[in-house]
Amino acid sequence: MIQIEHLGIAVKNLEQSNELFTKLLGKPPYKTEHVASQNVSTSFFMIADSKIELLEATSMDSPIAKFIEKKGEGIHHIAFLVSDIYAEMKRLQSEGFNLLSQEPTLGADNKLICFLHPKNTNGVLIELCQEIV
Ligand code: CMX
């Protein structure tokens, strides 16, 4: 693991939350993106070498819609940057973590991603991500 790449925050209304976080951080998101594979719309704010990702559900069966229904808005996941996601997935699987996919998938912000089930990580959803070069 190299660093915390971003914190994901589940929000009900991306436009309103973009305004809120623009005021809070003193700068606008550098990117907004619809990620069809995850049923989410996202925006990214840079903070030094890390990022905040705001996530709004685009359908009722989105993980973000389910999360907000159950827990309300708030921190949804922590994403760690890795240099070799395949090696890291293999290592974590051998350590007994529960990978939510056997292969990395294409995520937001030009990344290969894989999630670990929160039940085995103290209730925190963990995302691994690797930059696509
Ligand atoms: N953080 C912590 N716990 C979470 C959670 C989260 N983000 N999402 C769900 N849970 C909890 C549920 O509340 C539930 O807890 P209890 O058993 O105590 O009730 C438990 O995890 C398991 O829930 P589940 O019913 O088995 O599964 P869900 O349908 O809620 O799905 C999860 C949970 C993590 C498997 C699913 O959300 C998933 O596959 N997530 C990965 C993909 C994703 O989150 N995509 C959106 C982000 C995309 C992006 O970053 O661009």
Q: What is the pLDDT of residues 54-93, one digit of tens each?
A: 999 999 999 999 999 999 999 999 999 999 999 999 999 9
pTM above 0.85, yes or no: yes
Q: Whose CA is nearest to atom 7 of ligand 1?
A: 76
Which DSSP state fits 47? E
**63 Cα: distance to centroid of ligand 1 (angstroms):** 6
Atom of ligand 1 nearest to the CA of 71: 13
φ, ψ of residue 23 to 5 degrees: the values are -65, -45
**Are the C-beta atoms of 98 and 73 separated by less than 8 Å?**
no
First-to-last C-alpha distance (Å) of the chain: 18
CA–centroid distance, residue 91 to ligand 1 (Å): 22
In this structure, what is the dihedral angle of CA atoms 126, 73, 61, 100, given to the nearest 10 degrees? Answer: 10
For 3-13, the pLDDT digits (tens) are 999 999 999 99
